Amino acid sequence: MQIFQSILALLAGVGVFVIGMNMMSDALQKVAGPGMKKLIGKITNNRFAGVGIGAGVTALIQSSAATTVMAIGFVNAGAMTLAQATSIIMGANIGTTVTGLLVSLESLNISLYASVLAFIGIMMTFVKKNDRIHNIGGILAGLGLLFIGLKLVGQAFDNEEVLNAFMNLFQALDFPLLLVLFGILLTALMQSSSAMTGLVIMMAGSGAMTMGDALFVIIGANVGTCFTSLLAIIGSSTNAKRTGFMHLTFNLIGSVLFTIVVWIFSAQIQDLLEKTGWNPEFQIAVFHVVFNVVTTLILLPFTKYLVKFVEHVVPDKPNELAHTLKFIDRRELRTPAIAVMQVKKEIENMANLAKENLEKGFYEVCNQEGKYNLEIEKRENAIDYINAEVTDFLIKLSPLVTGSNLEQVGSYYHVINDIERIGDHAENLLKDAQHMHEKGIKFSSVAEAELKTMFDTVEQMFAIAIKTFDTSIDVDLKELSDLEAKTDDLKHQLSISHFERLAQENCTMELGGYFTSIISGLERVGDHLVNIGYSIQDPTGNQNERTDNYNFYWE
């Protein structure tokens, strides 16, 4: 009966410990998370700064998994390169060791104080009207529950039968690779290297496992913690997959190196730790710190090569026109600021697809070769798919954002509509080219040169509109407006030229219909591009409030 109670105490202790960890981490993220996201988003190419930011953020929010998932979100949104994310991940691995140091304090018998801390924290969580007090209460309650859980685990190991059972288990696993595998599997199951580290510290402190076994299990735990980031990249973009795989690569290399070193020099390492005079709990916590710091120091100079390796292992998707989103990850709705960034990158991707279709469509008008017909149709389908998916994502995102982000989201509805209409005009160019080819008619060199002049103007507008949307700087808006006025003038001038050719019988009425259709379509594309450029000035998309003299189309 006593052994049954001890097993229940062990399970309850692990459960309370994990709940405490999650509660503390969630509350810390709510208190410090927004500032931490901004800090991560401002990272430069300085690798040491990246490691420092990653370590600091993780130490504050007590979750390397959360930091890694944030990094994946930023890379997916195009706000951070894979190399920058790599240094963040390295730092996150160092920051997560703070939990082990914290857990090692249990050896000081502070459970009574922790119980009081948990009570105070829980009382504070009842203050619903003040979010800051509520969240600070969550931090204190989580910290208190963490130590209460550790106390329960320690009490379970006071039972000799339970203690002997675990000692026998680790004697059966007394082979380095089995112990590393045990650490990997159990950490993946718990989805927390911090929780696993805490459990190992308690088992080593109670004598349930030897110091030598504990070191190998800790090494395995550093690989098992990658399971959370690997879950986060399922069904995501190539960039996100590369970031998650980088996390695994980094930890795997470090684990292999340390497994070899500890395997060969196990006795010497244990002897060195014992000579410090620290208790077993603190020795393991320090080893965890050393593991991650040394791994970072070894691999940081090779960041560039790690990036190349990961890009080789996770190549770009072969079919860029597939019905998939390149940047948006629906799971990032949990972090709206990152989700807004991802939407912006997805819209830019959609705009580039429309631009390419416009170029290919005009090529077919002039050459009628038919070599881009299938490609244009596939790309148009991709544009329509992105339009529908982004719209659906924005509907879900809108209630989650406030302030400037809300204005941005509002403007994005109109921008994607404009881009979708540009895509339609590009498709119309292809249809005109196909019909002309079927009828065996072509524009004269004079008419083609006139169309080329108007198309070049639209291309200039496209470059300015995308740049303005990307940078949110309106310095080129006057040039954009002037070019739009030029397309209006060109439409008028080319129409006059066309009627003169008709009068001189240098053109047919049939060709004239296609000529008029194309210049009208290009003029409309110019209107949509002005809408996109001015979206940063008027996020509401209300064209009636614009101060310029141009016409705007929202169809």
| pLDDT cut 90: percent of the chain above it | 30
Q: How many CB atoms lie within 10 A of CB 333?
A: 15
CATH code 1.20.58.220 region(s) in the chain: 330-545
The pLDDT value recorded for residue 62 is 65
Instruction: Pick the range with the lowest mean pLDDT from 9-18, 204-213, 261-270, 447-456.
Output: 9-18
Give the residue among 258, 255, 170, 179 at the shortest CA–CA distance from 206: 170
pLDDT tens-digit readout, 143-169: 788 778 877 877 777 777 777 888 888
pLDDT-based confidence at 347, cuts 50/70/90?
very high
CA distances from 475 to 352, 407, 408, 463, 492 (A): 21, 20, 19, 13, 28
Instruction: Pick the range with the lowest mean pLDDT from 73-82, 246-255, 410-419, 420-429.
Output: 73-82
pLDDT surpassing 60 at residue 547: no
pLDDT surpassing 60 at residue 41: no
Name the range with the highest mean pLDDT among 78-92, 102-116, 343-357, 462-476.
Answer: 343-357
pLDDT tens-digit readout, 261-312: 999 999 999 999 888 888 888 899 899 999 999 999 999 999 989 999 998 8
Indicate the angle between helix axes 336-367 and 64-76, nearest 10 degrees: 20
- Judged by phi (left if over 0) then psi (alpha if -120 to 50, else beta), residue 260 lies in alpha
pLDDT surpassing 80 at residue 462: yes
Residue 267 to residue 272: CA distance in whole angstroms:
9
**Average pLDDT of the segment spanning 454-475:** 88
The pLDDT value recorded for residue 35 is 59
pLDDT tens-digit readout, 496-534: 887 787 777 667 777 788 888 999 999 999 999 999 988
**Average pLDDT of the segment spanning 252-269:** 93
**Average pLDDT of the segment spanning 381-390:** 92
Tokens 């390796």 sit on residue: 309
pLDDT-based confidence at 544, cuts 50/70/90?
very low
pLDDT tens-digit readout, 111-154: 666 778 788 888 888 877 777 788 888 888 887 887 788 778 77
pLDDT surpassing 70 at residue 184: yes
Residue 297 to residue 292: CA distance in whole angstroms:
9
pLDDT-based confidence at 548, cuts 50/70/90?
very low
Give the residue among 381, 388, 411, 387 at the shortest CA–CA distance from 398: 411
8 Å CB contact between 280 and 262: no
Tokens 């770009």 sit on residue: 316
**Average pLDDT of the segment spanning 439-452:** 89
**Taking all residues of the chain, what is their mean pLDDT, rounded to a whole number?**
82
pLDDT-based confidence at 321, cuts 50/70/90?
low
Superfamily of domain 330-545: Phosphate transport system protein phou homolog 2; domain 2 (1.20.58.220)
Q: What's the half-sphere exposure (Cβ side, CA atoms, 13 Å) at 433?
A: 24
pLDDT surpassing 70 at residue 106: no
